Amino acid sequence: AAAAEARIGGDLYEVLDTPFVVRVLVGDVRGKGLEAVETAAVALGAFREAAFDHAKMTSVAERIETSLGRHLGMEDFVTAVLAEFPLGGGVRVAAYGHDAPLLARDGAIAPLGPCGEPELPLGLHGFGPEADFSPFEPKLLPFGPGDQLLFFTDGAGEARDLRGRFFPVAAHFARHHRRTPPERVLEGLHDDLLRHVGGRLHDDTALLLVST
């Protein structure tokens, strides 16, 4: 289940059922406007091709990085989370300058982890012979019946109310995560987020919920 609300901007997400695994990409482009939309399209296009071409997540990340390296300026980048769900169960997650997804399990909410060594956002590793991008291979983490993973962009995590307080994503996820079907979880989070910011979001926002 997914929800998105924004001005024109650079939030992106995709879920693909590939011959290897189910794969997820959630990301946020630095900046706004048409340039951010174009960058999001580049990242999504690279992901959609690489996800079907490569068995390893690191190879998928490298393809996205290469495509962004051709497109981005020196100070531009994309924060992103890549995840994959093997048929036998579990999840692998790699975060590139992006918040890890929140795991709901047995009534408790916490960031999924450990997701491995912190990685720079995509697009900051250079392009061509001088490129320096060696993504780690994430470990398989438990993800089973009844578990939920909430992916979100900084439009949610950094949304502020009139007093400057950030929106507590984990607390509101805890409030709604038992709702069914999953779309109702996102509806509750979305409504809470709008109330928090006074009725209008000032940044593009994406929420994606994966449940077993």
| Mean pLDDT of the region 37-45 | 93
pLDDT at 117: 64
Candidate ranges 29-43, 63-77, 181-195; pick with highest mean pLDDT:
181-195
- The whole domain housing 22 covers 2-211
Specify the higher pLDDT residue, 74 or 19: 19
Tokens of 140: 């398989």
Per-residue model confidence as pLDDT tens digits over 84-101: 999 999 999 999 999 999
Distance between CA atoms of residues 174 and 117, nearest Å: 27
**pLDDT at residue 7, rounded to an integer:** 42
How many domains does the chain divide into? 1
Instruction: Give this prediction's pTM.
Output: 0.89
CATH of the domain at 187: 3.60.40.10
pLDDT in tens, 117-173: 668 899 887 655 556 778 888 999 999 999 999 999 988 988 898 899 999 999 999
Whether the pLDDT of residue 8 is over 50: the answer is: no
Q: What is the DSSP string of 71-115?
A: H--TT--EEEEEEEE-TTS-BEEEEESSPPPEEEETTEEEE----
